[in-house]
Every structure is written in C-alpha cells, then in structure tokens.
Structure 1
C-alpha cells in the first residue's frame, strides 16, 4: 500500500472514498450491501455521515423490523437537516477524517474511520449534539450524549466546544466537561479527562489550544490553559496552565525545559 492517501485533499476525499467502497464491494460480495448502504448510495459525504450516525443512534429495542426501518429513516432525515442548518458540522467532520488519514499509519484506505472507528463516530455525534444544545434542542443533545457513552465509552458534554482536524485515537474513556474548549488540530488519546474541580457553575474546564497533544490516561483539571503546541504526556496530572510549546510529564505534571 502506497501512502498516496497522505496527499489527498478535501476536494478529492469523498470521490476517493466512493471509489474504494465500490472496489471493496466487488472484492467482497458478502459486504456489498454494507458498502452500498453506508457509502455508495449517497450523493455526498453528509448523506453518508447521516446514515452511519443514524444506525448508531436509533433505539434498537423499540419495535420490530418495520418500526426500526422507519426510525432509521427519521434519524437520517433529522441528522441531515441539522447538518444543513449548520454546514460547519460537515466541514469539520471532513477535516477530522482527513486528519485521521494523515495521522494514523494503520489506516490502509480512506473510509475506515467513517465506517469503523468509534473515536471518529463519537466525535461526529458530539458535533450534532453541540448544535442541538445551542439551538433549543437540549433533550435531543442529552439523548445523543447518553447514546455515545453507552456505545463508545466516550463522554463529551454537548456544551463543550470542539474545533476541527481533531484526532482522537481509540477514545475509550475520554471525558470532556461542559465548558471545555478543544481548538483545531488537537490530538487526544484514550482515557483522557478534561474535568472540573468541583466548582458548581461557571467556566470550570480546561482549554486546549491549537495543535496541543494529550497522551493516554492524562488528567487535566479546572479552567486552565494548555498552550498551543504543548504536549501532555500519558498519565500526567495537570492543574495549572501549561505554556505554549512545552511538554508536561509525570503524576504531578512537571514541565520539561528545552534541555530536558
């Protein structure tokens, strides 16, 4: 497998996904309907994303096959409508996908995150929930958040602000509080917590500035700032601001200087 995917851009991403899905469907007839339903039948990326997320969010305990089919149809229509109302959702989702392809050497095609990665799907569910939270649909936002916790083990409050080009690897155990801010091009690994300090209200969660990195198991508490390009090593506990471009290690969040 060549690494041509690393040179792909947003303009050619969706046509490439479709072409690869068609090739996979021909190569594996047992999966042909899966690729058709999730990718090939859709006119664009937004339609495919709405379908993939709809299948995750519907209540599979409600009714029989006919009821399930109708519920899936309603979810698809609803999710597509929310993305049409807020085009930034689709744009961010595409940049997230491109980021996955550029950052994860284990991916051998262009559609795997969309179809199979819990981290990617959970993040896109959050984008819908965030839109709902700020558009008078808080019951729906809370439902989506709860489904994401049950399905993926990822708990991102609908109020949290998340930029684009986000790479969440594995994602299981990720917790992000209501007033947290994650700017563009941030990387998070599994079991990361962006939590509060017990303050009942107000701005009480971390702010991760552009290009920062948080390793697996790191815990960041309070309304503090992780500066642009800063790195928080796995297992670190951080309760104070971290300057841009620095690295933090250890259970007490020790900042390394350039010599270190």
Structure 2
C-alpha cells in the first residue's frame, strides 16, 4: 500500500497532500467528517473533488447537483488544463494568503478559490459556445460567493482572491498568471 501511495504522490503531489491533510482533519475534528469525506476523501482525483464542490455549492431549485456535476466532470475530462490551473491556484492561496495553513482550506472554506474554480468551468462553457449555461454559472457564483466574473474574461493560473467580497471581473478583462486580489476590485468595465 505504501508503494501505491508513493506512486500517487509522485504523480500528483498536490492531491496526495490534500488527502493526507483531509484524513488528519477528520481525526482532529470528527464533526467535519461528513463534509471532508464527501468533498475530498470520497474522490479519486482533485478534479472529481472540484466537480463535487462546484455542484454542491451552486446547485439550486433551478439546476440540480447531478446536472452541475456532470457539466463539471465533462469540463475537467475534456480540458486537463482546468485541473492544472486549480492546482496552481491552491498553491497560490497557500503561498500568499496568511490565513491559509493547509491545502484543504481553499477547497473546503475559501469562497475566493471556489469562485475562481467555478469561473473556470463557466469559461470552458463559454469557449464551447454554451453561453447561456455559462451565464447561469456566472449568476450562481455571484449569488453564492459575491464574486462576479464574466465567463468571457481571461483569467490566468495561480490566482488568489482573498476575502472575495465585491469582486467584479468584466468581459474585456485579462488577468495574468500569479495575481492576488483582495476585496472591492472591479476590472474590465467598459461603461457601456
């Protein structure tokens, strides 16, 4: 078993560390066991865990968890770069947010990270000419997280949005790699 763990760690060290931290967190706080198991430990990859979190956070009476999970799974399977960008974002939050002490924190608790991952799925939908569904994702991200990122905006990897309150990234905005934002930021407004 240890040999398999070392092989997984060498292939995907971020996911391996997430799983190790999640197991430790369940032992330290058993009341969070259900959340941590369903969100992280139940899944065989980071991408599957992200798809689960996306669907659980954004589901509503208008769009079920199952449909949203299928959309996210399709995005991650079709575009492997989405998962790599998420790994870069986890590292960015861990490196630059003084409140982040473990890799599991952005995945479970930080709405800025979760909003960026949901934007990435919305952007994937936009690029695949599914604009109405991309707008739906944008609307739900705004309602749930208070972050409004247009699905046509271009956002790089290694993004850290701390506090994620009153963030607006418009259709024409281009945000490069390794960018950090705090609260009350508006980018890319045309004034139209």
TM-score normalised over the length of structure 2 = 0.89
Tell me by how many angstroms 1:141 deviates: 0.2
Give the structure 2 partner of residue 112 of structure 1. 105
1:10–1:98: 8 Å Cα contact kept in structure 2?
no
**Aligned pair count?**
184
Residue 88 (str. 1) matches residue 89 (str. 2): no
CA distance in 1, matches of 2:132, 2:125: 8
- Compute the displacement of 1:10 (Å): 8.7
Deviations 1:113-155 (CA, angstroms, capped at 9, x unpaired): 1111010000111111011111111111000000011111111
1:103 maps to 96
Q: State the TM-score, normalizing by the size of structure 1.
A: 0.67
Deviation at 1:197, TM superposition (A): 3.9
Measure how far apart 1:102 and its partner are.
0.9
How far apart are the structure 1 equivalents of 2:180 and 2:144? 21
Gaps of 5+ in 1: 1-8, 63-67, 201-260
Deviation of residue 26 (structure 1)?
2.2
Residue 38 of structure 1 corresponds to which residue in structure 2? 39
- Which of 160, 179, 192 lines up with 2:185 in the alignment? 192
Residue 78 of structure 1: aligned partner: 71
**8 Å contact from structure 1 (residues 162, 183) kept in 2:** yes
Contact 2:172 2:188 in 1 (8 A): no
Give the Å deviation of 1:195.
Answer: 3.5
Query: What secondary structure is seen at the aligned counterpart in 2 of 1:193?
Result: strand
Are positions 1:29 and 2:22 aligned together? no
Superposition deviation, residue 77 in structure 1? 2.2
SS in 2 for 1:95: helix
Give the number of the structure whose residues are more often strand, by fraction. 1
List runs of 5+ in structure 2 lacking aligned partners: 1-9
Query: How has the CA–CA distance of structure 1 residues 197 and 78 changed in structure 2, closer, same or farther, with 3 Å as cutoff?
Result: closer
- Cα gap change, 1:50 to 1:197, in 2 (>3 Å): closer
